[in-house]
Each structure stands twice: as C-alpha cells, then as structure tokens.
Structure 1
Amino acid sequence: MSDAWLSPRAAVRVFLAFALAYFISALIRAVTATLAPVLSAEMHLQASDLGLLAGGYFLGFSLTQLPLGTWLDRYGPRSVILGFLAVAVAGCMAFAMATGFSGLLLARVIIGMGVSACLMAPLTGYRRWFKPETQLRTNSWMLMTGSLGMVASTLPVQWLMPALGWRGLFWLLAALLVLAMLALAWIVPAWQSQTPRSEEAVASPKAGYGDIWRHPYFRMMVPVGFVNYGGMVAVQTLWAGPWMVKVGGASAEAAAFGLFAINLSMLAAFWLWGVVNPGLSRRGLTAERLIAGGLPLSFVLLLAIVWLGADAGWPLWAAFCVSSTFVALSQPAVALALPAAAAGRALSAFNLVIFAGVFVTQWGIGLAIDALSWLGWEESLRFRGAVAIFLACCVLAYGLFLRGHRGLRRAKLAA
C-alpha cells in the first residue's frame, strides 16, 4: 500500500481541505446553544423545543451513517463528501428562511444529514493515503479542528450576531460550506478500488456490515465508544452548561465563558494527542493500552464533581472532558484493525455507536434528573444524582472493555 501514500506536502493540503469542512460542521453542530435565547424569543420556543431542535442534528446525522460507510468504500471520500455537503448547504439555506419551529427542525435534520460525512470521509481517506503511524495524529488533529469549531460557535458567534442576525449567520455558513466544497473538489485525490483477495470477504462494499459488527476488536470498543465517548460529547455539548447554572449558581454569561474554556481545553488536548501519538505508537503503546491505563482518571474526576456539587465549576468539567479523550483513540484504532477497503463502513458503524451514545446520554441524564424529583430531591441534588448514575455506567462500560481487551490479548498469546 506504500505506493498509495501521499507526499507530506500533498497530505497537508488534503488535511487542511477536510479540516475546513469539519470546522464548519462542528460550528453548526454547537451553534444552537448560543442561538437558543434569540430563537426562543423570536420563535416562542419552549425548553423541550430547544432540546428537540438540538437533537434534530443528531437524528439526521445518525440516519445516514450506515449507507455513508458503504458509499465511502465504493465511491471514495471526495465524491461522497461533495454530495453530502450540497445537502448541508440546502439545509443552512432552509434554516435561514424558516418561519416556524417545524421549518427549523426539518432544516436542522437536513443539515445533520449533510455534514455527517465531514469526519468519516477524511478518516476513510487517511486510512489509505497516510502512513499508519500518522493516522492517530491526523484523527486527533481533526478532532482538534472540531473543538475549534465549537469554540467559534460561542463568543465569536455572539460577536457576529448584532451585525448578521441568526438568519444572516446561516447564510454565511452556507457560503462557507460552498467554499469548502470548492477546496475539496480541487485538492482531494480520486478514489481507486483496491481490494486484496485475502481481504475480499470483509472489504467488499457488497459484504455489508455483518463482519464489521462481529469483528472482535470492534466489539471490544463498542462499550467505551457508546458510554464514555458518547457521554463525553453529551457533557461537552449540553450538560456542563446547565450544571454550572443549576448546581453552581453561575450566571448565563459565566456559564458561556465556562463552555468556551471547556472547548478550548479540548482543542489543546487533541492538539497534544496529535503531537505525542506517533511517538507512543513507536513505543508499542497501542490505543487499547492507553485507554485501559488512562480512562480511569475520568472516573476520579467525575466522582469529584458529584462530591463537590456547587464547588465543581468549569475547571473540573474541563478536566473530565480532557481525561476522557483517551477514548477518542478508539476511532482510528477501529479503522486500522480492519482492512483498508472496509474503513468507511468500520468508521461509520463506530460513529453510529458514538452518536447513539450521545443521544442516549443526553436524554438519559435529563430523564434521571426528572425522575429523581419523585424522591423529593431539590434540583442541585437531582443533577448530582444523575451524574452519579452516569458515572456508574461509565465504570461498567470500562469493565466490559477490559474484559474484551484481556480476551484479545489471550487470543494473541495463544496464536
């Protein structure tokens, strides 16, 4: 496969083109939190409407993951992401022209569908075009780009709002997506079908997802992908803010700054992972070993958050999110564990696991908060109880991962 690897200069150009598209998609994903007060006032939205509006993105995103993987393996990253981004452009335009909640929700679902290839397409390409030792780095730096987009969705968007309004903002986002499409069409290489006969059963796009789901490495990573990775994203994009307000007593402005700081911390963490990953890989520190050794730190921090309650502000939540980034190593590791020609399906299937975890955790924590009111608990205690339940789920998922990890180690030693 070495003849397919891109030169360093070409690899940088391809990375930057994909990174622009992923930056915009992450900005769009997180921007509803910043726009919530304006949309609530103008469209007369209730809290449940806002929750559904935020979830509409993830619904659209999830609907496309399985066909996306097959199309990526068959047609390649460039063709697929250009088609999907055209849908995202239409979604942004529809959002800008919406006159009511139903229009906003439909546009949000369309946007989610359209940007759903913005991470899977590049990771599929990197699996073939980049050397193995650089793939963990490029994955981390793509996630860093996503964190930068989430940072841009907070204070920078607030600064633009007086000049553009929320409708003008979405017209601007549509124009930026078109710019990203032009860059991708110009820079990203064409896709050539390469399926060695020894890998044909799993690698062929016609093989579907059965062998992907049954693969022991994939199944080992599912628990931490669903609960720990999905939970980290759920906290970062939703529950850290309400905790700061409802438990910590922070103002809306202070909570917005806290979210800005959390996203900035995540950006720095993913940048650092990209720097150190090649060296760790050369030393034989695989993704599963790093997850096994590092992820328990996040449990200690989550326990501290529950224990401290009102005294647990954004620095502890930032530390929890940063310590949870160990599990982000699972995504490129899954792609590397399966044949390169099956990378699109492997990545998309695992991404579906992660985003299902985001949805379930976001909803589950909210359900737990409401359910604990039946015990007569006051609001801050209900938040602490719900996070404690989430902590228990994280520890359980980690235990299932460890069992799978030890099973694979025993199988390798026996082979």
Structure 2
Amino acid sequence: MKRTPSTTRSAGASDQPLGPAPVNTERLPARTAVAVFLAFALAYFLSALVRAVTATLSPILSEELALHAGDLGLLAGGYFLGFALTQLPLGTWLDRFGPRRVILAFLTVAVAGCAAFALATSFGGLLAARVLTGMGVSACLMAPLTGFRRWLPPSLQLRANSWMLMTGSLGMVAATLPVQWLLPQLGWRGLFWGLAVLIALSMLVLRLRVPAWQLPSASPAADAEEAPNAPMGYGEIARHPYFRQMVTIGFINYGGMIAIQTLWAGPWMVQVTGYTPAGAAQGLFGINLSMLTAFWLWGVFNPRLVRAGWSAERLIAWGMPLSLGVLGAIVALGGHAGWGFWAAFCMTSTFGALAQPAVGMALPAHVAGKALSAYNLVIFAGVFAMQWAIGLAADALVFLGDGGQRLRGAMGLFWLACVAGYVMFWLAWRRANRRPAR
C-alpha cells in the first residue's frame, strides 16, 4: 500500500511527532463529543469493574470453591481469553458497521455472561461465564477509540484515549472497597446480577447518545488512500514495522501489568505481605486510584509532549525502565513491599499504554478498528498468558516453601520476562532510528 507522510511515518522517523493520516472528517460538535465520550465511558467503567472484581473476590471464591493459584489465574484469565477471541472479527465489524451497532450487540452478550456467573455452581460454570463476559465487553474500549479516530482531531484523540483509560481505572477503584462494602449485603452472586442490570442501562445510554457510522465513501472529501478500494488486512497490519515494534511491550510489559492489577496484587498482599482480605481491598483501592491519577495526567500532558517532539516510542523507551526497577525492588523486598510499591509499578507501567493509540494513528483511519483491535489482541493475549503463567509458576515452585514464597518466586520470573520484553522493544526502536527516512 502506498504511504505518504500524512498517512504514516517511516521507520526511520520514529522519534518525530506522530502525524495522523487524513481522514474522512465527521468531526463532532464539542457538546456532542462530550456526550458521546460520557456514554462510552459509562460502558467502559462497567467493563473495567467486571474485569477487576476477581481480585477482590479471590479470597471468597478460593474458600468457597477450594481453588488453587493456577485455578484462580485461569478463572481471572478466562475473561481475557474471551476478550482476545473476539478482537479480530471485532476490528472488521467496527470499520464496517461502526461503534454504536457493534458495542450494543456485544454488550448483550456481556449481560448474559454476568447472569451466567451469578447462576454458576461449579468452577467450570464460572470459567465459561467469565469467558462469555470477556467476549461481551471486548468492544467497550475499541468502539470509542475507533470512533475517536474519525470524530475528533488528533490532539483530542490523545486526550480522549487517556481519559477513557482513566474511566477504566475508576471502574477498577469501584471493584475494590465499594465491592467489599457491598458483599455482606448482596453476596457475590447478587453483585453480578446488579452488574447485568447496569450494563443493560448503559446500552440504553449508548443507543441514545452515540451517532450512527458513515462509511468513508459517503464523503467526496475522503482522501483517496482512505477509500474502500485500498483495503488492508490483518496480515499487512501485523507486518507493519511500527506495529511489530510495539508487540513485546504490549504482550509482556503492559499485559503483565494488567494481570497484576486485576488479580495478583491481591494475593500478594494477603500471602506475602500479610494483609487481611479487607486490607488487601484497601490496597487495591489505592493502586487503582493511583492508576486513575496517572491516566488523567497523561490526558493533560501527552498532547503537549507530542508537540514537543516526544513520540510514544521515545516516551516508552525512557519511561518503562522505571517499572522494571520498581518490580525488581518488589521481588527483592518480598513481605516489605506493600500496596504502595504495586501502585508505583502500575503507574510507571502506564508508559506502555501510549503504544495502543499510537498504533491506531500510525495506520490509515479506514482500518483504525482493525489496527486497534489487532493490538488489543496482543495486549489481552498477554494478560491471559501472564495471569495464568504466574499462577502455574507459583504452584510449581514448591521447593521455595509456603504459598507466599512461591508467589514471590513467580514474580521474579515475571520480572525477567518484563526485562526481556523491554530489551526486544528497545532493540527494534534503535534499529528503526538507524534506518534512513523514506
């Protein structure tokens, strides 16, 4: 496919500010854009709450169902498995049918998944319900990001993307202490019935507030390269140098951070640091509140950083080593590393979140759904792999002693994987810098 400087950038220009492709402009008026953002934010808030709630519920589920660490990792990872299974068809459907139609169809499945989880009586039933729920909410981030690619100007896309992630962090905050407070009144089954109702209500808001999709061909002003006669398949997207450069950061480093945030930080605080379940819920509250703050700050400062010449990959290259240092300190300190250390790890890992919108903006707007969903598949396949692998490693390292020491050893192996992921990204980034601009 022919490329111009306005469509994407050359591999040798990787340290230059990102220049988005010209698009079939369907810019929304400011008031409409705010309403659309809030409608999507409500759905994404609920999807993040559903995603993270297993960390808070892990002590209860482990006790009721006698789950081992590997079982718990598989149960939490089942959500991400369902999420990953839908990403490739999701991207195609988003580009073809638009965010509103796709997210409404998917959220119907999410409602069914929450109801199935509330009714489940065995580990197999819980796992199947988590997979179904993951499939159902898998459009809650990709739908707005695809819409923002055409509805908002480039500088506002960066801000809206970061603040959408901020609403996800708010959902994770709600999955900690508020869930802990509600459990005595509702129980975990009643909690999931309530989530099913709230997701159904969010569907009504989306139906009323989000505009219908217009195909690129409907506008005579559409750029020739954005027209449907220039298709781009997933194979071409996966081979794109910029996409490949970001793969290990998404799969290992950022995916691993989500695996920690949504599951393993809770067991670490209970088994290694000695927190009570209520204390662990308070720690998770602090971690997720810190993440909310981090994404809010990215929304404020990222457009300015890009204008100053700090591309996403440059920020990742200089910022991600901070997370490696914090994770290494956590492993070394063991029981002395409480929730504050995990908050620092998650916050410094948000440099990896810059990769996803950058991938979407580096590829043509008419394949934004495919590009974003393909990279989302990388991230959530990584979350599933890291969540399950940490649990399996903790079960396997029996020679280290009790469960806390085995979990600490598993985190040491995860740290080595994160170092390897960053090194592979850094080498690809340096190679791209050495290539002459085309």
TM-score, normalised via structure 1 length = 0.93
Change over 3 Å in CA distance of 1:100–1:392 after alignment to 2: closer
Match of residue 308, structure 1, among 302, 309, 333: 333
Change over 3 Å in CA distance of 1:341–1:152 after alignment to 2: same
Aligned residues: 410
The amino acid of 1:404's aligned partner reads A
Match of residue 273, structure 2, among 239, 243, 248: 248
Change over 3 Å in CA distance of 1:51–1:330 after alignment to 2: same
Match of residue 307, structure 2, among 282, 285, 298: 282
The amino acid of 1:46's aligned partner reads L
Change over 3 Å in CA distance of 1:93–1:343 after alignment to 2: same
Is the CA contact 2:88–2:373 (under 8 Å) kept in the aligned structure 1?
A: yes
Aligned residue number for residue 225 of structure 1 = 250
Secondary structure class of the residue paired with 2:246? helix
Aligned residue number for residue 50 of structure 2 = 28
Is 1:90 equivalent to 2:90 in the alignment? no
Aligned residue number for residue 197 of structure 1 = 224
Q: How far did 1:40 drift?
A: 4.8
Q: C-alpha separation between the residues in 2 aligned to 1:95 and 1:326?
A: 34
Aligned residue number for residue 188 of structure 2 = 166
Change over 3 Å in CA distance of 1:112–1:270 after alignment to 2: same
Secondary structure class of the residue paired with 1:124? helix
Is the CA contact 1:80–1:117 (under 8 Å) kept in the aligned structure 2?
A: yes
Q: How far did 1:12 drift?
A: 0.9
Q: How far did 1:315 drift?
A: 0.8
Is 1:267 equivalent to 2:292 in the alignment? yes
Match of residue 263, structure 2, among 229, 238, 251: 238
Q: How far did 1:100 drift?
A: 3.6
Change over 3 Å in CA distance of 1:93–1:244 after alignment to 2: closer
The amino acid of 1:11's aligned partner reads A
Match of residue 295, structure 1, among 311, 320, 341: 320
- Map Cα deviations across residues 281-304 of structure 1 (whole Å, 9 max, x no partner): 221211111111111111111121
Q: How far did 1:51 drift?
A: 3.5
Is 1:393 equivalent to 2:420 in the alignment? no
Secondary structure class of the residue paired with 1:295? helix
Aligned residue number for residue 350 of structure 2 = 325
Is the CA contact 2:74–2:388 (under 8 Å) kept in the aligned structure 1?
A: no
The amino acid of 1:106's aligned partner reads A
Q: How far did 1:380 drift?
A: 4.4
Q: How far did 1:3 drift?
A: 3.9
Q: C-alpha separation between the residues in 2 aligned to 1:253 and 1:393?
A: 31
Q: How far did 1:11 drift?
A: 1.2
Is the CA contact 1:202–1:212 (under 8 Å) kept in the aligned structure 2?
A: no
Aligned residue number for residue 3 of structure 2 = none
Q: C-alpha separation between the residues in 2 aligned to 1:3 and 1:382?
A: 54
Q: How far did 1:171 drift?
A: 2.2
Change over 3 Å in CA distance of 1:168–1:388 after alignment to 2: closer
Is the CA contact 1:203–1:342 (under 8 Å) kept in the aligned structure 2?
A: no
The amino acid of 2:428's aligned partner reads G
Further displaced range: 218-227 or 237-246: 237-246
Is the CA contact 1:202–1:211 (under 8 Å) kept in the aligned structure 2?
A: no
Match of residue 431, structure 2, among 390, 393, 407: 407
Structure 2 residues not aligned, in runs of 5+? 1-22, 218-222
Q: C-alpha separation between the residues in 2 aligned to 1:315 and 1:307?
A: 15
Is the CA contact 2:90–2:373 (under 8 Å) kept in the aligned structure 1?
A: yes
The amino acid of 2:203's aligned partner reads M
Aligned residue number for residue 67 of structure 2 = 46
Is the CA contact 2:142–2:372 (under 8 Å) kept in the aligned structure 1?
A: yes
Change over 3 Å in CA distance of 1:111–1:414 after alignment to 2: closer
User: Matched residues, percent identical?
Assistant: 66
Q: C-alpha separation between the residues in 1 aligned to 2:423 and 2:390?
A: 21
Is the CA contact 1:70–1:208 (under 8 Å) kept in the aligned structure 2?
A: no
Q: C-alpha separation between the residues in 2 aligned to 1:35 and 1:303?
A: 27
Is the CA contact 1:81–1:121 (under 8 Å) kept in the aligned structure 2?
A: yes
Change over 3 Å in CA distance of 1:366–1:169 after alignment to 2: closer
Change over 3 Å in CA distance of 1:202–1:409 after alignment to 2: farther
Q: C-alpha separation between the residues in 1 aligned to 2:91 and 2:173?
A: 28
Q: How far did 1:203 drift?
A: 5.8
Aligned residue number for residue 17 of structure 2 = none
Q: C-alpha separation between the residues in 1 aligned to 2:387 and 2:38?
A: 31
Is 1:352 equivalent to 2:377 in the alignment? yes
Structure with higher helix content: 1
- Map Cα deviations across residues 36-78 of structure 1 (whole Å, 9 max, x no partner): 4444555x34235443332221121111111101111111111
Is the CA contact 2:322–2:348 (under 8 Å) kept in the aligned structure 1?
A: yes
Is 1:373 equivalent to 2:395 in the alignment? no
